[in-house]
Amino acid sequence: NAGVTQTPKFQVLKTGQSMTLQCAQDMNHNSMYWYRQDPGMGLRLIYYSASEGTTDKGEVPNGYNVSRLNKREFSLRLESAAPSQTSVYFCASSERVSENNQPQHFGDGTRLSIL
């Protein structure tokens, strides 16, 4: 049982390049999330998907797009990478987004550097 799996684990891009971060969960969770973590700022929500077929903006959506491909998979795309998007990206999932005390389970992160 892998939980939440993110690929790739590390990536270096040049400014302007595009790439997609992949996330898959095998816990049959309905809700999935993408966060970025920067030093001194904690985790900030980029986008989330409450259920298959829906996506919503989080706190810092600009410069990103997402796709909830199916119940298992939620991808994050950078269309034109900028140095400000250098960060550690975490994908997470939970059973349902709107129920109290539902914890989120995290993947082990993607370390992205943009030169």
Partner 1 sequence: RKEVEQDPGPFNVPEGATVAFNCTYSNSASQSFFWYRQDCRKEPKLLMSVYSSGNEDGRFTAQLNRASQYISLLIRDSKLSDSATYLCVAREGRALTFGSGTRLQVQP
Site residues, partner 1 (CB under 8 A): 35, 40-45, 48, 50, 56, 58-59, 90, 97-98, 100-101, 103-109
Task: Identify the three-state secondary structure at position 83.
Answer: helix
CB of 31 to partner 1, least distance (A): 8
CB of 54 to partner 1, least distance (A): 11
Q: Which is nearer to partner 1, 15 or 102 (CB)?
A: 102
* C-alpha closest to that of 58 among 74, 40, 79: 74
Q: Which is nearer to partner 1, 1 or 101 (CB)?
A: 101
Q: Which is nearer to partner 1, 56 or 79 (CB)?
A: 56
Distances (CA, A) of 11 to 14, 19, 27, 108: 10, 9, 26, 14
CB of 80 to partner 1, least distance (A): 26
Could you give the CA distance from residue 111 to residue 20 in angstroms, rounded to a whole number? 13
Q: Which is nearer to partner 1, 19 or 50 (CB)?
A: 50
Type and span of the H or E element at 111: strand 110-114
CB of 6 to partner 1, least distance (A): 9
Bridge partners, 78 (sequence order):
19, 64
